[in-house]
Amino acid sequence: MRRPALYSSSPRAPQSAGEPPAADAPGADAQPTATAVAAPPKPRWQPGARSFAVLVLLSAGLVSGSYLYGVRHTPQKLTQKDIDSAVLRTLQTNTLPSASAKAAEIIRPSVVRVVGYGPEKATPEAKTEKRGRNLAKGKPPEAPDPPGEVERGVGTGVVIVDKGLILTNLHVVAGSEKIKVTFYDGLEAEATVVSVQPENDLAVLQAKKIPDDLIPATMRSTDDLQSGDQVVAVGFPFGIGPSVSAGVVSGLKRAFRSPEGKQELSNLIQFDAAANPGNSGGPLVNMDGEVLGIVTAILNPTQARTFIGIGFAVPIENAASAVGTSPF
């Protein structure tokens, strides 16, 4: 049978040279009577001592770990001074978009270009608008329209219902044989007039095709609107756009008579954001991108039909009634 392994003996202290051998030590020529087997020494680490040491080390590690965890992850209490400092640093190091830019970005997907086609108008206003459109396209002012469809008028509209209902000015589409609208994503579609409100120079169009993700504008009551409130007008002046201009509300409940004196509009919002022929029918919005009114006219005592600082918009309450429902 294989013998079990034995522990090595612990080294003993060396014996002095002059020291006599122990009495019971066998002589060199003594004959051993039996094979002596040394008793196994005690291990250097006894099981009890080892367990105790491991326990001590683990406890020390847990204590130090808990201490470090508490130090590293204890949330720091922020003071108002800390918050103000962080905000100030952000304002100093980051360029934030203006309120007008944010308002324009919100309303832009709901703004459409409206073009009426048909016999060319012979009025001075129509000729002025045509010259402006030609210049915007890089053409000579009196350049004739290409053969085929003739642009009778160019204006703006705003989507108010996601099924393709569009608000615009009646004078933009009146007398047109065909109406086309161009949406934010570039989709062009024919449209028909489904409702008119001549007393407010408004028309409601229905597009025959619409984008899959058409976004209608959000309308806002003008009950709390005040002179001095900031506004943005978005449209296609002389066909260029969508263009954005910013200003303030200059007055409320204004009246305006058309240059020909044939029509007088009342209860209008007066504003000073730049508007020109082609802005007609576009939205006038607040800083949240909510529609307050529909741009309908500009005041100019001459026949120039250009902006001199006074524009008018029909309040959205009147505009919404043209659809046959109130938005509020």
Q: Quick one: CA torsion of 152, 243, 124, 133, rounded to 10 degrees?
A: -60
What proportion of the chain, given as a percentage, has pLDDT over 70? 69
What is the number of structural domains in the chain? 2
Mean pLDDT of 10-22: 48
Specify if 300 maps to a domain: yes
How high does pLDDT run on average in the chain?
A: 79
The reply to whether 73 belongs to the active site is no
Active-site annotation holder among 100, 110, 250, 280: 280
What's residue 162's pLDDT? Answer: 92
What digits encode the pLDDT tens for the residues 133-166?
A: 776 667 777 777 666 677 888 999 999 999 999 9
- On whether both 108 and 173 belong to a single domain, the answer is yes
Residue 219 to residue 276: CA distance in whole angstroms: 23
Question: CATH number of the domain that 248 lies in?
Answer: 2.40.10.10
Specify if 159 maps to a domain: yes
Residue 112 to residue 156: CA distance in whole angstroms: 6
- On whether both 202 and 258 belong to a single domain, the answer is no
- On whether both 309 and 235 belong to a single domain, the answer is yes
Active-site annotation holder among 100, 110, 176, 201: 201
What's residue 33's pLDDT? Answer: 46
Active-site annotation holder among 100, 171, 176, 243: 171
Whether the per-residue pLDDT at 261 is higher than 60: the answer is: no
The reply to whether 171 belongs to the active site is yes
Specify if 90 maps to a domain: no
The reply to whether 98 belongs to the active site is no
Task: Provide the domain limits for residue 241.
Answer: 230-321
Residue 305 to residue 203: CA distance in whole angstroms: 22
Specify if 72 maps to a domain: no
What proportion of the chain, given as a percentage, has pLDDT over 90? 45
What digits encode the pLDDT tens for the residues 262-313?
A: 678 899 999 999 999 899 999 999 999 999 999 999 988 776 777 888 999 9
Specify if 57 maps to a domain: no
Whether the per-residue pLDDT at 319 is higher than 90: the answer is: no
The residue among 144, 174, 207 that closes a domain is 207
- On whether both 238 and 298 belong to a single domain, the answer is yes
